[in-house]
Structures are given as structure tokens and as C-alpha cells.
Structure 1
Amino acid sequence: MFEFVHNNKTAVQIVLGLVSAGLVIGFGLSGYSAMGESDNYLAKVGKTQITERQLAEAIGNQAVPDDMKPMVVEQLVSQQLLQEKAQQLRMTVPDAVLREAIGSIPAFQVDGKFDSKRYQELLAAQQMTPTQFEDKLKKDLVLRQLMDGVMQTGFVSNSELQRLNSLMGDKREVSVATLSPEQYLAKVSVSDAEIKQYYDANLTQFKAPEMVKLEYVSYSQADLAAQQTVSDAEVQKYFDEHKSELAKEERKVRHILLTAPKDMKADDKAKVRQQAEVILLEVKKNPAQFSAIAKAKSQDPGSAANGGDLGYFAKGAMVKPFEEVAFKLKKGEISGIVESDFGFHILVLDDVKGASLADVKPQIEQKIKQDKAQVAYQAQVDKFSELVYQQADSLKPAADALKLKVVQSGWVTRKAAEEPLLNNPKLIEAVFSDDVLKKKHNSEAIEVGRDQLVSARLLEYKPSQTQALADVSAVISSKLKLEKAAKLLASDGEAKLKALNAGNAVELAWGEAKPFSRIGEQGVAEADLKAIFKADNSKPVYVGANVPNRGYVFYKVGNSVAAPALTPENKFRMGESLAKMYGQVELTAYLDSLKKDIKVQYSHRLKKSVE
């Protein structure tokens, strides 16, 4: 439902978020802050409460960082506002529409058709009954209906499209030259007194943080999976049990198509069918000439030139009448006349293939290893935690018992660690606690990632200390020289820009002229772009600016290049994009208006902070 939902959720978890995926309302987060934990709800819409549990369920029962909670809660508030309004309007979804929506969800299908058993099994795996799922889906469909009614009102006029096309497509020919601060370094110097003065005034910059070196053990499901062994018998058994999923049959078909749209008159369609029957007699009389006949008579623009060859495809790739026949044919067999929404087809089956055990063996082995590791991991999690806690003076007992490796770290500060595995806020907080620093105990087992625990203990400690002047003198000298060079650069750049616009010759290394647009010019400040496009190109015009971390940049503005005329296709796409954008604006405004009629109350944990 939300952008940060993990991709590895089960099929049903993904399905549950599909309908509401469009409800992403933009709003500022800077005015919110996560506070205490005393309220029983995070927000209240009318009389409906949004709780921590609903928040977790909305993103697949994952932990939500405090700084992300306001955004997720606001999404749930928006959904509830729309649901409340839908109830006021007595909006509903017919049972037939609900059944069609459920039946069209791929997760509930087997061989392209809705499967009641699979439907119930997948819902049961999520501890959800069909009634619960259908109630949720019905609410989501109503919500979508209301959203579409608001968002599809966007209208874009031709004048707006032309103006936008001009803004996006107009260009100016621009040459660029740059002066860097380094070019002025030879003209500046820094004395020992200046270095000492800077050092004394900025001692906090040279204070090294306290640091620790650690030894640690990691216990993870991924590591356990790598240790598992899988026999050929286990692979064969898994393959036999999941053959329909792993070794999907694909068929290679050629066809001849005579087009007959659905809205064609019955008499005309009958004539097309008669033509198809004549061709069918011809191909059955000369099967070896099927490709040649297809090239000459098939009206399918995508395959006729290739003798009607459609390549390999699995179930679900073709329209139903075509697919049903294609998957009943024997190799080399020619079908009868097959009618679809496209017209009349004649098929011949060239080949059948499916993945062999050898093709999917690596994938099966990995799956079995992961399944074994999951069981082993869950069985040993408590043991790992107990060993590092009960035998707190060493990590060796836990490492020996679970066949883990004790690893030594680089330096770790209160802000970061060199090793990504240790760069976890909870673990860093634990290793700087008195229990680890002073008592020299193992840290508790900290979850640093999905199905991964780490415990660490102290090897070496360095207290915070100020670096000596001698150790940082070169760094300070370099910094001060660059600052002085930058001042020279700014002064010289402004003088050169003035001279250029006065018509005087200035020696600069100009690059090749290139077209600049109003958008997408990386490294060009907005003010500079505005000046470039305002410039009168009847004479040479120069624009310049001192750009941080780059230098003084000069732009020589040349000819204007008008935007190309809008093609019908581009006009349609641009209009569609603008309409969607306007629709989102309309939806945001609509939600704001709903908040005036339906009271929204936020918990003190999410109330707006005073800026």
C-alpha cells in the first residue's frame, strides 16, 4: 500500500494493498513529530480510531520508524475520510462487480482461472476469512470509485498544453566556461599565526569522537541457509509436488488470422468465416505449406511475415478461445476454425516444452535450504539470546554452540560503524552502554536486520579527545588557502563578466555551444537559467555566477531554438499527465474540504509542532 512496503510479502499481502495504491496524498512532514506513548490511538476520524495495530497492518506488520509514522497515519486518515464520505453518499459495490474483481486477481488463479481452493488457502495463510477479505475489498472498491470521481475531473486546455510545450521545449544555444578556485591557489598564502587562530576558534571541529573496537557474533537465517545440505531425493520430491508451478508448459504455435471485429455485421462475419474454411481445407490438404499460406493470407500484422509463428507461450498469454484450442492440440495437429474477438484463426502446434528438473534444480535447492534454515533459526533464536546473556563474559560459548564465527570490527563511534552489519542504531546504543563499556559484558542479542541477530563485546576503547595542532595544521592550511582563493575567484569572475558584457575581449576556455532547456539542466542554478532565457539574443549576452564546489561559471547565450510543434501523440500524453496531476491536486483539495466536515483529531504523539 505504501512505497516502503517490502517486496517479499506473500501474494495476498500484496493483493490487499493493490486497490488503495493510488491514494498517496502529498503533504508536508516537517510539522509533525513522534511524541510519547500514552494515547490508545494515533488519529481519530469522526468516531473511528486509527491505532498502532492498524498502522502495522497497513504496511505488512513491519516496524514503522517514528519519522515515517506521520506520513503513514496521514494516508490512513485520508482513506478513512473517503470511506466516511462514501458511507454518507450510500455508495456500494454490486456483488457481481466484487466477484469479478476477486476472480481477476492473479494470486487466486490456477492456470489463468479463479481457483476457490487456492483463494481460501491463501487467505487462511494470512489468518483472514473470505468474508473479511471481501469486506475489505468492497470498501477499497468503493473508495476507488469515489477517488476516480474526484480525480477524473481534471481538464487541460489547448493553450495550457501549448504554453507547457513551449516551456519544456524552447532552448537556447549556450557555451560554458569555468574558473576554478584551484587556479588562484598560487596567488595566496597562509601564515602559521592564521592557522593557530583558526584552530583555537574551532576546537570542536578537531575533537575526535569516542570510539570502540568490538568482537561480535552474528546469527542469521541467511547464514544458516548456506550451511544446509539438500539431497537429490529432496529435490525430486519438491519438484514432483510443485511441478505445475515450476515446469509450466509452453507451446509453440503458428496461426492464420482473418480479422473480424466484434462489431462486424453478422452477414459480413459469415463471409469471413467462409473464407477461413476455404483456407482450412487448403492447409489440411498441404500441411507443409502452412507457413507459406500464412505469409500470403494471414491478416495478423505481427506474425504473417514469419509464417504465422507466435513463438512459445504459456497459459494466460492468449485470449481464452485461442488458448483452449492451442493447449489441446497434439504436436503437428491443425485446428479447426477458432473464433476470438480478433476474428477467425487456424492453428498448428509446432512444439511443446516445459522446464526440466535440471533447469530448476538450483532454485529448488535454494528454496529447501531457506525452508530448513527458517525452522532451524526459529528453534535456536532463544538459545542464542540466552547464551550471550547468561555467559556474558565471552562470546565463545554462543559461537561454539551454534557454529558461529567471532569477528573483530573496525572503529565504531556513537554515530556510525565501518561494517554495515554493525551500523545499526540499537546495536550502537548497546555497545556504548555501561554494561558493555564498564562491566565488559556481551551486549544483548540485537536484531539488526530481518532474521538476523548480533551480540558484541568490547575489545578496545578510545575516549573523545582533541587532535593536536600539528596533526591538523596541513588540513587547516589547505582550507584557508581555498577560502582566500575563492574570494579572489569571485572578485575576478565578476570583473570578467562585466568586461564581457561591455564588449571587451576576455581570455576564457569556452566549451562547444550546446542547447539548454528550462528543465533538466544539472548544475545550473534556477536564477542563471532564468537569466539565460530572458537574454536578448540580438547581440552576445553573458551570464555568470559563483557556484559552490565548482567555481565561477560563465554562460555565453546564443540563438533561440523554438520548441517543436506538438504531435497528436505527444499532445495526448502531455494532456493525460497534466490531467492526472490536476486530479491529484483536486483530490488533495477534496480531502481538505472533508476535514472541515468530518473532525480529524491527532494523538499528541503526532500533533503538529510549533516551528
Structure 2
Amino acid sequence: MFFDKLRAGAQGTTSKIILGLIILSFALAGVGSYVTRPVADVAAVVNGDEITAQALENAYRNERARLESQLGPQFSQLLGDPAYVEQIRRSVLEQMVEQRLLDQKVEELKLRASDEQVRNAIRNLPEFQQDGRFDNDRYQQLLARSGISPEQLRDSVRQDLSRQMLLNALAGSSFTLEAEAGWLDRLSRQQRDAQYVRLPLADFSDRVELSDEEVEAYYRQQPQQFQRPEQVKVNYLLLDAGAVSGVDIDEQAIEDYYQANLASYSRSEQRKVAHIMVNKGDEAQQKIQAIAERLAAGEAFAELARTESDDVFSGAKGGELDWMEQGTMDPAFDRAAFALNDVGELSEVVESEFGLHLITLLEIQPGQTRPLAEVRDSIAERLAQDEAANAFYAQEQRLAELAFEFPDSLDMAAQELGLEVKSTGYFSTQDAPAEINDPRVLSQAFSERLRQQGVNSDLIELDSRRAIVIHVTEHRPAAVRDFAEVRGQARELALTAKARELAAAGADALLAAWRNGEEQAWLEQHGLAVTELNGLTRESEEDPALLDALFAMPAPTEQPSLRSLALADGDQLVLKLNGVTTPEDTSELLAQIREGQSGLLGQREYQSLVEALKATGEIEYRRLTPQTDNNF
């Protein structure tokens, strides 16, 4: 969706975390909440303000799309778990509640972003940029494509910027003492000397011998490791838009579309102007008149802009502004700029909400319209796609009707629509056939309703070009596999478990020997050696688990500092910390650490505010999903 792109353009470093927070209205509500009429269902009420179930649904869909983009195929597997889907919905609703509480606080404090701030924010959005500058054509096209009016975008950006004012105040009020940052700086550069002995799991695996009785006993003690998942067999009909025949588009349809959408193929006149601005004040009128007189006397506009303009950013460029289109600037400034007829012509003094201006015209790009011949092919392609989409939609509706009217099988639907009924063997949610391996399909395939009632599923839209209806033919509940079926697997798991026990016992024995000063004899007896680690830092290239363990150990005193550590591969480490060296002086990282800690404190302040607003607010949770939701 359009605002998913806007949201993606706001990713960045710590300084942009707050910006990420303030655009939650786009990320959560999405475009749909602006263009879709709300339904009566209410998901939550926050201090009297309703959050509709439809708004929650729009937010959920956007969050799901974001997670799918981030996690890839793994996300599809996660969606097979209804509890995970519900967790996402609850998380999204909670974020919407928090956002509403923040908006109410902003309104209470009467925080409001100015028109200039809103304009600058919109003009700086990367989606509206072309070659590093604001492109009004792109702006208009993207708004039209997304179904959003300029006023709706303006109001949403103003709301976000107003919220940013509150969040920036929280972040700006947080600080870290230099002494605290110095302690963290020295701690981060601490070095440790240590020794360790690795006890390989393989050494203990070779010593393990298990009888059949012991293997079977392990199987009975660990039934969860030998579980066969719930499985089903299904029949299904797959409707694919790729199989829908194309249509020819006549010339009149192309002409009609072109005329109806002429604005999309037109570019309005654009102007580049320069200005000299004087901030409002007691002497502003005298100052701007003096500059006007110097211009009339022949002084260069660009030079006066550099030396006299209070707009230092444009002043550095001789007063030059970006290309502008009528209706995008302050109304008074806009009227004056477009009243100029000739390049070099100078306006009278213009008063805007920002100050007093003198404006000169630098360049004009006339408006123009692309001819039909130039865009004919793209229009024909779009109309053909629309026709194909309409044909696919009609087949979708008919498939849904037939599946409902003849619920006991898919044969009638297949016969009328010319589709093939496909069948699967037994599968679980982990190994579903690729063609139906979609969380929405799996959710229905393993639902009690289809299994108990023996009916067809609802129509499931896999994407904009594919839809499916399924019918569960057989079901096999989850159960523990027979011992004979998993005997080999049980033996391997039992051997590994026993070897891990022996390795842990070996580590305990070495710890005891080390405490008693008898480690050398123990190591020689078992053919093991000590590895020395000197000058270790938290960034050393060692196993992260090893580093975490060593830097969590207390410094040695009269007693040696010892501990054991089980690695992920089953090996055991026995660690001995010999010394800890902490620098006395701070480093050049002190300022960066202090800034980072202040940022973390700012985030905690933000979270504290949210929790306080929740604690004192009246929040009522009603519905997690809309009544008409059949897809999730």
C-alpha cells in the first residue's frame, strides 16, 4: 500500500526512532481507514473515543504485510498457528490504544504543528522526491492512486508532527551523568584472563551402551519427542487468473479512459522563484522597503538574498527555492509568485505567515499534456488487466456460490467452471503441498467445522490472482508414533541424552578437582588440555556463549572463580576466571555512550508515559475481530 512505502522511507538510526513512533497512524490505520466507511463494530473505547473493528482490521493487514516482508517464508509457517495470529491482532490493537492515548494527551496540551512544518514534512517525504527534489506530478499521482486527498494527507501529517513534539520533549529531557557514562565506558573496555577445558560430547557418546529396554523406557518417558502431528487429506479447486482468457480493448474505450483521466497525463505549470525574507517585527517593514530600494537601484538580487535574507537556507543559494506548482505554498506567497509574468520581474512586498518577502521569477516550465498516441499502449494494457480482473472476480463469485449451494463435494463447481478437482495425501501444517501451503488454507483444513460438518470451505483468496475452495476428506488426529516405527530415532535420542548426562557429570568432576588443586592429574587421566584466553574483551572472536559466561563470572578472590557451561552442540566447558582488568581512564567513546544511554532513558520515559496514560485512562476492549471476518 502507499503508506507502507511512506513508512519504509522513515527507517534509520536512533535519531529516527521517535519518527518511527509518530507515524504509527499510517502504519496502524493504513489507507483503508481514510477511504473506507467505518462499520458499527467497535474493537476498543479509549476515554470515550472508539477504535472500530474495521480500523483494527486495516492495521492488522498492514502489520501482517510488514512481518511477511521481514520474515519471508518463516512467517507463513507462523501464521498456521491461530494463537500466533491472535497475538498479532492483540499487539496491533494495543499499539492503536497507545497511539490514541498519546493523541489525546497532545490535544490536552494543545500541541499543534504549524502549516510550514506540515508542508516541509510532505515535501521531504522520499516517495514525492524525483532527483532529490519535490515532484508535484509524482505527489498528485501517488495521492490519486492511493485514494487520499491532499487535505487528508495534510491532517494526518499534522497529527504525526504534533505527536512528535510531545515525544521529542520526552526524549530531550532525558540525560545520563558523566560519571555513569564513564563507568559504562570503562566496563565496556574491561579485559579478562581465563582458562577453559572442553569436554567433547563425542568422547562420552562412545562410552554409552543402551539395552533395548532402556531405549523403550526413554521412548515412554519422552512421548512428546515422538508425536505424529494432526493430519488431513483434502480435495480442492484452484482458480487461477492466469487461466482466464484475455480480451481485446476497442479504440473508443481507450479514448474514453484517456479523456476521463486527462489529469493523470497532464503536468501543471511549474515555476522556480527566489525570495528575500525578513522576519516579522517592529522594523521589518522598514528593512524590506530598504532592500526593495537597493534592488531598484540595481543591486543583484542573489547577493542581497545572501547577505540580508532571514531565510538563511535559501539565502545561501541566492534566495533560490525549489520548483513549485500553484497551490503548494503559502497562499499570499503563491499568488504573488504566479502573478509574475517575465523572468527577472520583481514582486511588491508580500506578507505571509512566515514574514515579509520580495520575490523574483527565475524560470517557468509550461504545463503540458502527453498525447494519446504516447500513452495508448499503457492504457490498453491497464484496461485489459481490468477486464481480466473483472472476469476473474466473476468466476470467484460463482465458485463461492456453487461451493455453498452444493456443500457436500466440489464436483458441481468443477463441472460448471471447467476446473479439475485435485486431491492430496495425508499432510500436516508442517508439510502441506506447495499449492495449498498457505496459512489461511491450513487454518480451514484443520478446523473442526469442516471436519465435523463435512462441508466445503469458504472461498479463500490466496492473492489477487488465485482463489481456492477445499473439502476435507479424511482426518487423522495427533498421536504418539508406535515404538516400532521410531525405534531408531528413539535409540539416537536416548544415546545423546545419556551422553549429555555423562558430559555434565564429567564437568562437575573437573570443577571439584580444580577447586582442590587436583586439576592437572584429572586432565592427564582423561587426556584433556587447558586452553588459555588472555586479554579477552566483549568483542573478542570467541563463542558468544563463552564470552557471556566469562563476563558474568565474579572476579577471583581467595577462591578460584569457576563454572561449567553446556554448549548448544552438547559439549561441556569448564571455565576458570584468572583476572579482571578495568581501565581507569575514559575513552573517546564517552560522548557516544552518554548519548546512547540518554536515548535509552528517553525511550523509557516514553514507555512510562504510555503506562501512566493507560493506568489513569478508561479503556474498554470489546472485539478483537470484525463479525464479517472470514479470512483469518
Is this a same-fold pair by TM over 0.5? yes
* SS at structure 2 position matched to 1:475: helix
Asked if residue 418 in structure 1 is aligned to residue 432 in structure 2, the reply is: yes
CA contact (8 A) 2:198 2:572 kept: yes
CA contact (8 A) 2:7 2:23 kept: no
Asked if residue 599 in structure 1 is aligned to residue 597 in structure 2, the reply is: no
Asked if residue 71 in structure 1 is aligned to residue 91 in structure 2, the reply is: yes
Which residue pairs with 2:182 in the alignment? 162
Residue 212 of structure 1 is aligned with which of 232, 250, 256? 232
Which residue pairs with 1:137 in the alignment? 157
Call closer, same or farther: CA 1:74–1:463 in 2, change over 3 Å: closer
- Offset, 1:183: 2.0
CA contact (8 A) 2:408 2:455 kept: yes
CA contact (8 A) 1:385 1:444 kept: yes
CA contact (8 A) 1:445 1:453 kept: yes
Instruction: Give per-residue Cα distances to partners, 1:15-57, cap 9 Å, x unaligned.
Output: 99999632499xxxxxxxxxxxxx9533333232222233234
Call closer, same or farther: CA 1:179–1:377 in 2, change over 3 Å: farther
* SS at structure 1 position matched to 2:89: helix
Bigger mean CA deviation after superposition, 504-513 or 137-146: 504-513
Superposed counterparts of 1:500-539, under 5 Å: 500-501=514-515, 502=517, 504-505=519-520, 506=523, 507-509=527-529, 513=533, 516-518=536-538, 524=545, 528-532=549-553, 534-535=555-556
Superposed counterparts of 1:273-288, under 5 Å: none
CA contact (8 A) 1:23 1:75 kept: no
Distance 1:98 1:77 in 2: 25
Q: Residue type matched to 1:41 in 2?
A: V
Which residue pairs with 1:21 in the alignment? 20
Q: Residue type matched to 2:620 in 1?
A: Y
Asked if residue 497 in structure 1 is aligned to residue 515 in structure 2, the reply is: no
CA contact (8 A) 1:180 1:552 kept: yes
- Offset, 1:584: 0.8
RMSD over equivalenced CA pairs, Å: 5.4
Asked if residue 383 in structure 1 is aligned to residue 398 in structure 2, the reply is: yes
Asked if residue 551 in structure 1 is aligned to residue 551 in structure 2, the reply is: no
Asked if residue 587 in structure 1 is aligned to residue 586 in structure 2, the reply is: no
Call closer, same or farther: CA 1:102–1:500 in 2, change over 3 Å: same
Which residue pairs with 1:192 in the alignment? 212
- Offset, 1:148: 0.8
Distance 1:202 1:543 in 2: 29
* SS at structure 2 position matched to 1:190: coil
Which residue pairs with 2:29 in the alignment? none
- Offset, 1:585: 1.0
Residue 474 of structure 1 is aligned with which of 488, 491, 505? 488
Distance 2:23 2:125 in 1: 22
Which residue pairs with 2:167 in the alignment? 147
CA contact (8 A) 2:234 2:471 kept: yes
- Offset, 1:92: 2.4
CA contact (8 A) 2:556 2:578 kept: no
Call closer, same or farther: CA 1:547–1:68 in 2, change over 3 Å: same
* SS at structure 2 position matched to 1:42: strand
Which residue pairs with 1:105 in the alignment? 125
CA contact (8 A) 1:173 1:514 kept: yes
Instruction: Give per-residue Cα distances to partners, 1:516-571, cap 9 Å, x unaligned.
Output: 444797552787334546246x9996542344652321235466566697664x44
- Superposition TM-score, scaled by structure 1 size: 0.61
Call closer, same or farther: CA 1:571–1:388 in 2, change over 3 Å: same
Distance 2:154 2:322 in 1: 30
Distance 1:486 1:79 in 2: 50
Distance 1:445 1:44 in 2: 33
Instruction: Give per-residue Cα distances to partners, 1:78-130, cap 9 Å, x unaligned.
Output: 33223222222222233333333333334446676656676555445444443
Call closer, same or farther: CA 1:61–1:524 in 2, change over 3 Å: closer
> What residue ranges of structure 2 are gaps of 5+ in the alignment?
25-39, 66-84, 266-298, 304-316, 324-377, 625-632
Instruction: Give per-residue Cα distances to partners, 1:434-478, cap 9 Å, x unaligned.
Output: 886578664432234565422234566556665433333333333
Distance 2:384 2:576 in 1: 64
- Offset, 1:179: 1.8
Distance 2:237 2:422 in 1: 6
* SS at structure 2 position matched to 1:411: coil
Which residue pairs with 1:51 in the alignment? 52
* SS at structure 2 position matched to 1:150: helix
Call closer, same or farther: CA 1:20–1:47 in 2, change over 3 Å: farther
Bigger mean CA deviation after superposition, 11-20 or 205-214: 11-20
CA contact (8 A) 2:195 2:577 kept: yes
CA contact (8 A) 1:43 1:600 kept: no
CA contact (8 A) 1:411 1:417 kept: no
Distance 1:10 1:367 in 2: 23
Distance 1:103 1:132 in 2: 15
Residue 575 of structure 1 is aligned with which of 594, 597, 601? 594
Distance 2:383 2:194 in 1: 61
Distance 1:461 1:220 in 2: 27
- Offset, 1:492: 1.7
Q: Residue type matched to 1:160 in 2?
A: E
- Offset, 1:60: 6.4
Bigger mean CA deviation after superposition, 144-153 or 380-389: 380-389
Q: Residue type matched to 2:611 in 1?
A: D
Superposed counterparts of 1:246-265, under 5 Å: none
Residue 469 of structure 2 is aligned with which of 452, 455, 476? 455
Distance 2:210 2:180 in 1: 57
Distance 2:223 2:206 in 1: 28
Which residue pairs with 1:295 in the alignment? none
Instruction: Give per-residue Cα distances to partners, 1:366-419, cap 9 Å, x unaligned.
Output: 999976764554343213323444566665775677676655545323x54433
How many pairs does the alignment contain?
476
Identity rate of aligned residues, in percent? 24
- Offset, 1:581: 1.3
Which residue pairs with 1:254 in the alignment? none
* SS at structure 2 position matched to 1:187: coil
Distance 1:170 1:367 in 2: 64
- Offset, 1:583: 0.9
Bigger mean CA deviation after superposition, 587-596 or 369-378: 369-378
Bigger mean CA deviation after superposition, 166-175 or 59-68: 59-68
CA contact (8 A) 1:42 1:50 kept: yes
CA contact (8 A) 2:403 2:413 kept: yes
* SS at structure 1 position matched to 2:112: coil
Call closer, same or farther: CA 1:131–1:180 in 2, change over 3 Å: same
Which residue pairs with 2:363 in the alignment? none
Distance 1:209 1:106 in 2: 48
Call closer, same or farther: CA 1:319–1:57 in 2, change over 3 Å: farther
Distance 2:93 2:450 in 1: 37
CA contact (8 A) 2:408 2:454 kept: yes
Superposed counterparts of 1:296-315, under 5 Å: none
Distance 1:564 1:376 in 2: 76
> What residue ranges of structure 1 are gaps of 5+ in the alignment?
1-6, 26-38, 246-269, 275-317, 325-362, 607-611
Call closer, same or farther: CA 1:114–1:473 in 2, change over 3 Å: closer
CA contact (8 A) 2:9 2:127 kept: yes
Which residue pairs with 1:95 in the alignment? 115
Residue 483 of structure 1 is aligned with which of 472, 488, 497? 497
- Offset, 1:144: 1.0
- Superposition TM-score, scaled by structure 2 size: 0.59
Q: Residue type matched to 2:94 in 1?
A: E
Asked if residue 86 in structure 1 is aligned to residue 109 in structure 2, the reply is: no
- Offset, 1:62: 7.2
Call closer, same or farther: CA 1:228–1:106 in 2, change over 3 Å: farther
